[in-house]
Structure 1
Amino acid sequence: MSTRTILKGGVVVSTDGQARSDVLIEDDTIIALGTDLDGDGHVVDVTGCQILPGLVDSHTHLEMPTMGTVTADDFASGTIAAAVGGTTTVIDFAMQTDGSLLTGLETWKANARDKAHIDYGFHMAVTDASESAIKEMADMVDEGVTSFKVFMAFKGSFMADDQQLLRVLRRTGETGGLVQVHAENGDAIDLNISDALSRGQTAPGMHATTRPESTEQEATGRAIHLATWAKRPVFVVHVSAASAVREIQEARMNGLPVFGETCVHYLTLTEDELHRPGFDGAKYVCSPPLRHEHDQDVLWSALRQQDLQIVTTDHCPFNFCGQKELGRDDFSKIPNGLPTIEHRLPLLHEHGVRTGRMTMSELVNLTSTAPAKMFGLDRKGRIAPGYDADLVVFDPSATLEISAANHHMAVDYTPFESWTCHGAPTMVYSRGDLVYGDGEVRSTPGRGRFVRRSTGPFPAGDITRI
């Protein structure tokens, strides 16, 4: 017997605007929209609230081994926190393992299978573009993993050279799919770090000093040139610097298929946090580093102009005690990353919508519709018949105070401690199931499904123009 639910009295928000509409769900699918929908089913009164398509977080790192430790959130705690914050699908980064992309994918699938509360997919990080790994990229696409990440930083661990990046780009011309780049000049950063440590400069603030804006700008421009030579699109992850934005804008003005994201922390936090007294700045170490207010202004503008298409979290959580402290005497050993998966929606509403920097429709596009389209989630990102019933009931009058004392992430701090947001999710549905409501998590570990993704807008062949 099918299960029917009607959300009544709400305002549906899409990329095109807002309209009063009921939403009819049958089992896991949206069946109809309309005013005053009737019929059998459980009726939920959402008067006074907005109904958003479930958010897609296309940049997370759950259970990721790095820098001598493992990120604090596994696929259980991380996806619970995501759901509470209105995210109903995550695309995590699986890492090439023992030289193999297939081994990496199976490892990450096993990590998620019995834990995830919401749906999940994977990007594949290629850290050694060997002949065998390049061949396996076709297997990844067949498995529904259609995007590949290459690190231009982290020399000695994840970093690939230009030839390897070019090989990966060319291979997507044969298989389809999209290449993502972490754009920082790893050689320059490595030298800067060595110089700083030789001078006895070990404090957390040196993380930003050794990774100046120019290292991001140069790598962004270089990645664009390599992608142009390969006649393939490229997607720049976690853009933080104004000069890197300008590289992307210039390429797009020339009609090149260059895309990018920024993250909620780059829009709301600055480098000043790294210079907090004592070791407290370690809580804010991430790569690229936090920048300045000027950079934030440029990022907000680039989102409005659609030169950056997505806002993600780059959720990469480490406990302050026992993990961030690994770098107490050497800033280069502080694990890089911030815990952000739970609060993207309320923070963007508070600092974007309420300040006039974006509309609710733009928020929906940047956090749901655009990432679903970009990464081939063909049943996600819209409230329309035939789409998955991934829905967020958002109350713009609710008040949320962010605190490590009440968040759902398995980490002992938040970079937004005591920040107040006006507007928060009150109910979250994943494929028709209420996974969060009335302040309580309603789902169970393992209910989330692996989602096979299409190549979306990026099939095989030469792609030289947007």
Structure 2
Amino acid sequence: MAAPFDVTIRGGRIATDRETLQADIGVRDGVIVAIDSRLPPAARDIDAAGRWVLPGGIDSHVHIEQLSGMGRMCADDFYSGTVSAAFGGTTTIIPFAAQHRGKRIPDVVADYARRAREKAVIDYGFHLILADPDEEALTQHLPQAIRDGISSFKVYMTYDALKLDDYQLLDVLALAGREGALVMIHAENHDMIRWIAQRLLERGHTAPKFHAVAHDAIAETEASHRAIALSRLVDVPVLLVHVAGAETVQLVRSAQRLGSKVYAESCPQYLFLTADDLDLPGVEGAKFCCSPPPRDARSQEAVWAGLKDGTLGLYSSDHAPYRFDASGKLPRGEATTFKEMANGVPGIELRLPLLFSEGVQQGRITINEFVALTATNHARMYGLSHCKGNLAVGLDADLALWNPDREVTVSAGMLHDNVGYTPYEGRRLRGWPELVMSRGRVVVEGDRLLAARGSGRYIARRSPEATLPAAGTPPASRLPAMLGLQGKAWPTL
């Protein structure tokens, strides 16, 4: 008689975003089909005694095999990037198919899909980066991409090659409202940064630490305020990515309490790094340069508080991998100025271990909040909860067994990305994923990769399913009704 399950995960402590229980999980054909005590034997039984059994992480903000606005290719392709993600307990990623000006969206998506299909070892969806919202894009290509399962796109308020003006942002928001898509916004005031940077360079201040000076926290807060105002004008939700500063966290919290439809994420670099990390001899500080830059201890505490109280509903890596050489961070070697260094830090493999060790183990967040911040909220926000993001009957068997007692000292040599360094070198972490399963197949066990190149699958995403409760009601605008804009009413995270 055949076993009722292909795999049973037996005797672990299971955590979802809402509950914790001791039970077995039965898997058949890649899907969770039973969660109960004392399930019958399977073709393979996995002993999870003493381990946390958690949903596989969803990293909804990663840059992989993507050409940046500065013309630099990421160090990670879809193979190294997804292998690194898997070893860190992540089973689904949503990277960016990046449109640059003059490029047609269907061509961008087709090229990106081919790269992923050939190399990814875990499942993936796509966002679009939208840099050229012309009439063809807005009336034909974006609506088609949304129908094909790319239900979110990112826009920039800074970077010469990518930034949109407010008029263009309103066009994009209006389209998102009509089509049921989500707009992600990189909010920094471009002219503030440009003005400060020019004056720093004129005075010979070229070192990496001046990147943090040029990207002043006020630039983030001002642009975030403006993005929220544009969102309110057309009554369409927005998501502010990589929130860094204490003032921006408070701005988002206040806007949410007044009923604005604004959501926000933050990232490891804003919990574990500060601007002081950029102040190193020579160009070493370039390893810590990202935008927005890490701030200070006060901002770190504000980000922790925002993750705890739900102001920041998502915790992503913003993995932006560039090597510490002429191909990435240092195009002119030691002579490279802060304005020429590729912006971004790696973090796809350490995202979950960092938060588990310093959040769950230190009592800053609960295990259920960890699950919500790293998996469940991403699934709800980005239209994946029909198959990903939790441990429940009917969902894909995407999960990780975590050893809460395993201690690891971080080094670049232990990681599986193609960057060659980590900004978290030497950090001591407690808690580590030791077995990772994607759609019922074990992809990582101990130090072994068991998944084949190209075995990951594309997930067509649905319209976003998560939004904030109506904590307050902002003054009503007659504009959406006058212009025929229909905003989407979503339930809460």
What is the TM-score normalised by the length of structure 2?
Answer: 0.92
Q: Is 1:387 the equivalent of 2:395?
A: yes
Residue by residue over 1:58-111, the C-alpha shift from the partner in whole angstroms, topping out at 9 and shown as x without a partner, is: 000001112232110000000000000000000001111533222221121112
> What is the identity percentage for the equivalent residue pairs of Structure 1 and Structure 2?
38
Post-superposition CA distance 1:341-391 (Å, at most 9, x none): 001111001111122110111010000000011000121001011000001
Kept after mapping to 2: 8 A contact 1:376/1:456: yes
8 Å Cα contact 2:178-2:487 kept in structure 1: no
Q: Distance in 2 between matches of 1:391 and 1:118?
A: 12
Q: Which residue of 2 aligns with 1:449?
A: 457
Instruction: Judge conservation of contact 1:233–1:464 (CA < 8 Å) in 2.
Output: no
Give the 3-state SS of the residue equivalent to 2:331 in structure 1: helix
Match of 2:487 among 451, 455, 462: 462
Shift in Å at residue 193 of structure 1? 1.5
Q: Which residue of 2 aligns with 1:355?
A: 362
Deviation for aligned residue 1:229? 0.6
1:464 to partner: Cα distance: 7.4
1:188 matches 2:195: no
* 448-457 or 326-335: bigger deviation: 326-335
The 3-state SS of whatever aligns with 1:21 is: strand
Q: Give 2:59's match in structure 1, choosing from 36, 45, 57.
A: 57
Local SS of the residue matching 1:325: coil
Alignment of 1:322-333 (within 5 A): 322=326, 323-326=328-331, 328-329=334-335, 330-333=337-340
Contact 1:137 1:175 in 2 (8 A): no
In structure 2, what is the Cα distance between the partners aligned to 1:144 and 1:392?
Answer: 26
Q: CA RMSD in A?
A: 1.6
Q: Which moved more, 1:301-310 or 1:34-43?
A: 34-43
Q: Deviations over 1:398-425 (max 9, x none)?
A: 1222111121011110101111111000
Letter in structure 1 aligned against 2:464: G
- 1:458 deviation in Å? 7.1
Counterpart mapping for 1:276-355 below 5 A: 276-322=280-326, 323-326=328-331, 328-329=334-335, 330-355=337-362
SS class of match (1:395): strand
Residue of 22, 45, 48 corresponding to 1:46:
48
Matched letter for residue 371 of structure 1: H
Matches of 2:387 and 2:196 in 1, distance apart? 45
Q: How does 1:77-92 map to 2 (within 5 A)?
A: 77-92=80-95
* Counterpart mapping for 1:253-268 below 5 A: 253-268=257-272
Aligned-partner SS, 2:433:
strand
* CA distance, structure 2, for counterparts of residue 289 and residue 111 of structure 1: 30
Tell me if structure 1 keeps the 8 A contact 2:157–2:185.
yes
Matched length: 465
Q: Does 1:405 align with 2:408?
A: no
| Selected match of 1:150 from 155, 169, 173 | 155
- Conserved in 2, the CA contact under 8 Å of 1:321 and 1:412? no
Gaps of 5+ in 1: none
CA–CA separation in structure 1 for the residues paired with 2:320 and 2:131: 18
Deviation at 1:205, TM superposition (A): 0.6
Letter aligned with residue 145 of structure 1: I
Q: TM-score of the superposition, structure 1-length normalised?
A: 0.97
Letter in structure 1 aligned against 2:367: M
Match status 1:370 vs 2:377: yes
Aligned to 2:245: 241
